[in-house]
Every structure is written in structure tokens, then in C-alpha cells.
A and B are shown apart, each in its own frame.
Chain A
Amino acid sequence: MTDHRSASPGPHAPHIRTPVGVALIMRRVLYALAPALVAYVWFFGFGIVFNIIIAVVAALVTETVCLRVRGQELPVFLGDYSAVVTGVLLAFALPPLTPWWITALGSVFAIAVAKQAYGGVGNNLFNPAMAGYVALLVSFPEQLTNWLPPRMGDLDYEPLSLLASLQFTLTGALPAGFSLDAIARATPLDLMQNELGQMRTVEEIRGSFLFGDFGGRGWEWIGNFIALGGFWLLTRGIIRWHIPVGVLSGLLVCATVFFLIDSGIHPSPGFHLFSGGALLCAFFIATDPVSAPSTERGRLIFGVGIGVLTYVIRSWGSYPDGIAFAVLLMNLAVPLIDRYTQPTVYGTGASNR
């Protein structure tokens, strides 16, 4: 018997390589989120900035500890920015007003349980950011549904100041004169689901000031900037079109069909597209290569599955937005999808037998 295991071989062809490494990919994902972050801060105040800082610091600390425990090389694995991306995506999913310990806990869970426990970068079954978010969502449902109202051009509106945001993030309490109940609002998706449950029509619900042209006010603009960053990633070849197209088409086809059946109780496709995390998921979350299938057909199926599941959860589930659950559920299906979508190897097709 011969031993068939192979170690990393010595010097070998090819002698040139693309300059695009894992760290560069992750850095570009971060750059692509920058415009959306600016829009986010404009509409919802500085809360997200603190969330990002806390989530990233917690992610990096957790990553360092886990790597040390696992005896891995710190500089190599910390320098890949993957923990930073996880932290930032988690922060994007959390409400602008989130107590620091909740954010940190989510980040720790994302890195320690969803990523490092599976063997670190490249081996995680689930999307770490979404696993962290879901862990928080089921543990602290109340804190995760308190959103701020968006800044609006035509109303006299005072966003929470930098200091007030910071104070809430650190202490969980607002400065004197503010009360959380007074300023916190549900997200448009939340509102829509609640009110529909009380037998109101989409038309009536959309009368609320939280709604814009298609989706939630402010959310629409953030969505535009997220899509902008996503398109940039597409042109740089950091992500490929299959997953975004799959997610969005799965969601929009479902939304269109039900909208056409009864537009009174089913919000329009535009609402679904521009509310909640649909665009963030399509371009930034579902496109995480590690937890997605690696075949092109498989990625389409994966994307469509997320889109359809998101619609199902939004419409009939008990959570307002289904992105995170949809992603995690489809993560589970990845090995199966990969198995059944393998391309036919050159020279082995039916025509060649």
C-alpha cells in the first residue's frame, strides 16, 4: 500500500499569482460598506459607529484568544480582516441603540462559537455574523427591536447627539429628558407585520411617517448605497453575480406574485427590496464564500433559497425580518447543494461516453 497523503510541495509552477489575497478581499468588502455607513449615520445617528467599534474590538479580542488557545499563528490569521468583517456586518444588523454588552456578546458568540469552534476561517458551517445576530435576537428580543426614527427632511427632527448615543451604548440609559419609549420606533418591517396582524391594509399602514417611497424612510437610501458598494465588489470580482441575483430574484418573485394576488395585505416588491436587510444580505452577507456553496449553480440555488425563505419568514413567521434565519437555514443545506451541483468534468460528459 502506498501512502496517498500529500504535504505542501516545494517550489513549483505557476510562478506568478494574482495579487488578490484573502486580506485584500476582506478589506475591499469593508471599503464597499463605507458609503452605506455614511448614509446610515445620516439617517439614524452615530449609534452604529459605536456598535461597529465595540463589535470589531470584541471580535478581534475573541479571535486572538481563540487562536492562542488553538495554537495558531496570530499575525497570519488576525491580518486577514475576516474577524473585522464579521464584526462590522453584525453591527450593521443591530439597532443603532444597542447596549455595548449585547453587541460584544454577539461578536464573541459569532467568533468563538460560529467560527473558531468549527476550526477558524474557512471551516465555519454558518455565517458568523448571522449566527451572532440570531443568538442575540432570540436572547434579547426587546433590545433588538428598538430602532430610532429616521432623520427626515420635512419634519423638525433632532437626531440623538453623539454623546447621547454613546451614553446609551455604554450605560443602557438615555440622558435626562429623553425616554427610550418616546424616541424608539419599530422598524418598518416590524410595523408592517404588527399592523397587518391587526387586520389593517398595506395602504393604511404605509401612511405612517416611517415609510418612504418604496420601503422604510431612510432605509431606502441606505439600501441604495449598499447596492452601490455591492456593484463595486461585483466589478472588482470580489463577489460574483450568482448569490445577489439569486437572493433578490427569490425575494422579488415571491413578493410580486403575492402582491399581484392581493396588494391589500401583501406589501409591494419594492417594499421588500428596500426594507430590512435584503440588500445587505444579497451583496454582503450571503456572499460570504466560506458558508456558501462553491459551485456557480449551487450559489444560484443558495441565493434563491435565502430569498424565498426570507419572504416566507417576513410574511408568515413571527420575526419581522427573516434574513438571518434564512441565511442560517440555507447554510445548513450547503453541503447538499454542493454535492448535487458539481459541474461535469471536461471529457466525461454523456456525449463522450
Chain B
Amino acid sequence: MSAPLSYDPQPPRPAWGVRVEPHKALSMGQGIRIAPLPRQVRVPLDLTAMRVAEAIVAPGDSILTGQVIARFPGPGGNAICAPVTGRVRDIAPCPVPVAGNYQARCISIDTAGEDRWSEDCKPLEPAGSLSRENLQARIARAGIVGLGGALFPTADKLRTRTPVNLLILNGAECEPYITCDEMLMRDRPERVIHGAAIMLRALGARQAVIAVESDMPEARLALKAALAETDEPGIGVAVVTAKYPAGGERQLIELLTGQEVPLGGLPGDLGIVCQNVATAAAVSDLFRQGRPLISRIVTVTGNGIGQPGNFEVRLGTPLRELIAAAGGYAQPDCQLYMGGPMMGIALDSDELPVTEASNCLIVSTPEEMAAPRPEFPCIRCGECSRVCPARLMPQDLLIACMAGDAERQAALQVDACIECGCCDYVCPSQIALTARFVQAKAQQRHWRLDQARAAEARERSDAHARRQAERAAQYADGPKADPASGEQAMKDLMARLGQRDPTDD
């Protein structure tokens, strides 16, 4: 396990992936700025369909910043904290910036222009004195979730059943335009390291490595300088080649350790836990400042924004207010994207709230992003499989998708697709590959279910037919010849059911 740290500064070069114009300098002109307090926030309760929180406040309630306003059912104790001080207006479905025009139930809070903090928000130092379980519980109660985009509750990820050897802090922010993690590591490296140390304790692990990309030397130097000043043992910095998608969880693990996470498995199967550097900083803020997860750093960038940069924004802030804080629209016909250009989603409104997953808001001019072009037939150039980090064969999967052949899709392991978009990027025929694979992955679940159900139905139907045949044979032999047997069978049945005699009435 000591191998990863020795990659610094000569990282291995992955064969997969694409080099994309980074556009990162655009938003790195100045440090992290604090966005003004929003006038209204909307806090989604069910941002992912898998985890649905229950509000514990009602419309009209006054709430303080940092107060717990919703809880997730289950033993984890995960909560959602109020990002602002104000009054609950309503709890209703609202559009949120996630894929598929999804509407989430949101707590809307009108702010009062002040920022009074809940009594609960007290520093928890020294974290070293707290037990593993206690650390996990505090992190759960502070509403800290993975800020890399998957929104998985951090505390749940720290409660591992199998021993963990290595904690990877993912600072390999590989998508173009996005700079929030890099700015965080440059401006606040000590928080990342402190958070990493607490996570190590909460995991019961000894070694952590902060992964940065080879094109972020400032972040690497800042982290190294901060490391030199602390006495946290077991934390190192590793450099990975700046190539998209080096920062994908599975790809990063492959680059750092040479191991592959099994398909359908988790990094935990290899004794590895991955956390985003911003999540580590949020953990540090909780223990050092008593600040639960009420804000995140968002990159606001693109040619269509007045003053691009990185902003620390309260969660739930409408994008409109964030855009205003970043100097407003530079021209009228801008298009908004949430996330990077490779995996982000196009938004149709600036009224949507900032969420824990909102790492980047791109305000692009019409020329900046590729206009949709018609698809051309696949010429089987194989560029897609050359760049695929999962080593899939997109050109063959495309055929299976167009034919609707779920069996072939399964044979080609469509489930291993990480939806990074590299195949689309390089495709000279401009074929929408990733979007088809996303659909296919969803259909795979249905297909497996259909298969399993059909198999069971076949078995049951065969059993039914057999039984009927047996009975027919019995009747053919003459049921009247032995009426006692039928009666006896009925009695046996009733006795088994332990109920009354059918001859009662």
C-alpha cells in the first residue's frame, strides 16, 4: 500500500480517457468568495429517490442556521440542517437541478436578513477524544454528504463492516471548467488535511492519500506545506495524470493502487474508501467551527457570466442569486449547465436551488458548447473503445442498444459504464452513446426482473400442469370408488389450517 505515494510527481499515464480543453483558468482569477445570504432557500428532502428525508419543521416555524430541519429514517441518524435563519414558508415539490426534470419535495425558507446560529453549532474539538461511533454520529447529524456528486451520506460511508486500509481523498477534479476542489485545496489545505485526519479516526484506518491532478501544482504545494505544519501521521499527497476521467472513483483507485473495483462491488471490497476533498473540509468545519453542512463551494464559470469564480454558497440558494453575486449574465441568450460539460445537465431555469451536488454552474454563450449535430452512421473507428475507462466496446453496445437486445447488452457488460461521456466526445459520427447506455442500464434492471419472473412463472405453471394432470388421472381411476380419500384429504387440509370443520353449516 505504500506504492501510491511514490507516484509523486511521476504519475502513470492511463491508456483511457480524453484530454479536453480545461477552461479552468477562467474561474481561478481570485480566491473563494462568500456569496451574500440568499433571500429564500429551498432545501430538497428527496434529492435522490433512494433516500427520502422527513421534515421535522412545519410551515410557519422559525428556524436558526444549523438547526436540524429534516431527518432520514433509519439507524444512521442522517439529518439535514437549515442553511439559513428564517421562517418556513411551505414544503412542496419543486424542480431541482438533477437529471430527468425531477421534482423534489423542498422545504422553502424565507430568510430574515440575519444569520443567527443554533445553539447546537459549537466546535467539537478535540475530535481525538471522541470515539469512532461518536465521530460518525456527529457527522451524520451535521448532514454531511459526499460533495463529489453522489450525495451518499458520509457517515454511512465511514461505518464500514470490513477493515479499511486506505482512505483516498479525491481532489482529482478532472472535468473541464470545474475548479471548486482545486481552489479549496489552494485556499484551505489545512481544512482538507484536518478533515482527512478525523475521517481516518472515524474509519479506524491509518493511511490517507490526497489525490491531485498533475495540472494543479499550486494545490499540491499548498497541501504539502500544510502537511508539513501539522503532525497528522499517515496522510500523503499523490499526483495523477491530468486526463479526464482520472477523478472518477473507480479510475482513481485504478491509477493509485493498480486494483480494480469489482463490477457491482464497492471500493470497500478492496479495503478502500473514497471521499471528496470538499467533504473532508466540511468534516473539519464541523469539528473545528461547529458548522454543519450548510454551504458548499460552487464554481460559477463560462463565457456568459460577468465575474467567474468560486463562491461559498448556502445550500438552497436560487441559482439566480448566485449568478447575480457573480456579476450577472454577460449577455442575454446564455445557457445554464449544472456540473461540467462532460457529465453535467442542461438547465432550463435559473430558479433552481443550489444543492450538495452542485459543484459547478456553467453560464455558457451559445458558441461555447457543441450544438447538437445529426448522428452519422458508426464507422467503427474504435476511438470510443480506446478512450473508454471501463474498457467497454461502445461501438458494439450501440448496435445492441439500437436492436434493443438486452441479452447482448448484458453480455457486453453495459452495467460497467460509468457514464463519463468520453465515447461521445471522441465519436466522429457524433453518436449519442452515453445517453443510450444510461437508458440501457435502467432497462437492464427491468430485463433481469422480467427474466427472473418468467423463469418463476414457468416453474409454477409446470407444477400447476403436473398437479392437474395427476388429479385428472385420479378422477379417471374413479373418484367415487373411494370417496373417503377425498373427504379425508379435505379434513387433513382443514386440520392443517387448524380451523373449523366445513360440514358445520
Q: Residues of A at under 8 Å CB distance from B?
A: 1-6, 8-18, 20-22, 24-25, 76, 80, 120-123, 240, 289-290, 292-296, 299, 338, 342-349, 351-353
Task: Give the residue name and chain of the A residue nearest to B261 (CB).
Answer: A347
Shortest distance from the beta carbon of A111 to any chain B beta carbon, whole Å: 15
Contact A16 B370 (CB under 8 A): yes
Which of the candidate stretches B49-57, B211-219, B403-411 sits at the interface with the other chain? B403-411
- Counted as pairs of residues, one from A and one from B, with CB atoms less than 8 Å apart, the total is 176
Contact A2 B450 (CB under 8 A): yes
B372 contact from A11, A13, A290, Cβ within 8 A = A11
User: With A2-B443, A4-B447 in contact, is A14–B374 under 8 Å at CB?
Assistant: no
Contact B435 A12 (CB under 8 A): yes
Contact A14 B262 (CB under 8 A): no
Interface size class of B (residues with CB under 8 A): 35 or more
Residues in B whose Cβ lies below 8 Å from that of A295: 382, 385, 393
Between-chain CB contacts (< 8 Å), 16 pairs? A4-B440, A11-B346, A13-B421, A15-B344, A15-B370, A16-B369, A122-B380, A296-B382, A343-B385, A343-B393, A345-B392, A345-B412, A347-B250, A347-B390, A347-B416, A352-B265
Residues in A whose Cβ lies below 8 Å from that of B18: 18
Contact A15 B369 (CB under 8 A): yes
A349 to B261, CA, bound (A): 10
Does any Cβ of A come within 8 Å of B176's Cβ? Answer: yes
Shortest distance from the beta carbon of B227 to any chain A beta carbon, whole Å: 32
Contact B176 A16 (CB under 8 A): yes
Contact A6 B440 (CB under 8 A): yes
Contact A18 B425 (CB under 8 A): yes
Shortest distance from the beta carbon of B153 to any chain A beta carbon, whole Å: 24
Does any Cβ of A come within 8 Å of B395's Cβ? Answer: yes
User: With A11-B372, A289-B379, A348-B413 in contact, is A22–B429 under 8 Å at CB?
Assistant: yes
Task: Give the residue name and chain of the B residue nearest to A16 (CB).
Answer: B341
User: With A1-B450, A9-B432, A17-B430 in contact, is A120–B377 under 8 Å at CB?
Assistant: yes
Shortest distance from the beta carbon of A295 to any chain B beta carbon, whole Å: 7
A94 to B428, CA, bound (A): 30
User: With A4-B447, A15-B370, A122-B380 in contact, is A347–B265 under 8 Å at CB?
Assistant: yes
A80 contact from B375, B376, B382, B436, Cβ within 8 A = B376
Task: Give the residue name and chain of the A residue nearest to B348 (CB).
Answer: A11
Which of B343, B390, B391 has the largest count of A CB atoms less than 10 A from its CB?
Answer: B391
Residues in B whose Cβ lies below 8 Å from that of A296: 382, 386
Would you list the 4 A-B pairs with minimal beta carbon distance, nearest first? A5-B404, A122-B377, A14-B421, A347-B263
User: With A5-B402, A290-B380, A348-B263 in contact, is A14–B395 under 8 Å at CB?
Assistant: no
Shortest distance from the beta carbon of B107 to any chain A beta carbon, whole Å: 29
Shortest distance from the beta carbon of A77 to any chain B beta carbon, whole Å: 8
Contact B435 A352 (CB under 8 A): no
Task: Give the residue name and chain of the A residue nearest to B411 (CB).
Answer: A342
Contact A14 B381 (CB under 8 A): no
A4 to B436, CA, bound (A): 11
A294 contact from B393, B412, B446, Cβ within 8 A = B393
Contact A15 B262 (CB under 8 A): no
Residues in B whose Cβ lies below 8 Å from that of A25: 381, 428
A2 contact from B346, B426, B446, Cβ within 8 A = B446
A348 to B390, CA, bound (A): 10
B404 contact from A4, A18, A24, A299, Cβ within 8 A = A4
Contact A17 B425 (CB under 8 A): yes
Report B258-314 residues with CB < 8 Å from chain A CB.
260-265
Does any Cβ of A come within 8 Å of B316's Cβ? Answer: no
Residues in B whose Cβ lies below 8 Å from that of A11: 346, 372
Which of B377, B413, B450 has the largest count of A CB atoms less than 10 A from its CB?
Answer: B377
A80 to B364, CA, bound (A): 30
Task: Give the residue name and chain of the B residue nearest to A21 (CB).
Answer: B428
A13 to B345, CA, bound (A): 6
Does any Cβ of A come within 8 Å of B378's Cβ? Answer: yes
Shortest distance from the beta carbon of A3 to any chain B beta carbon, whole Å: 7
A1 to B438, CA, bound (A): 19
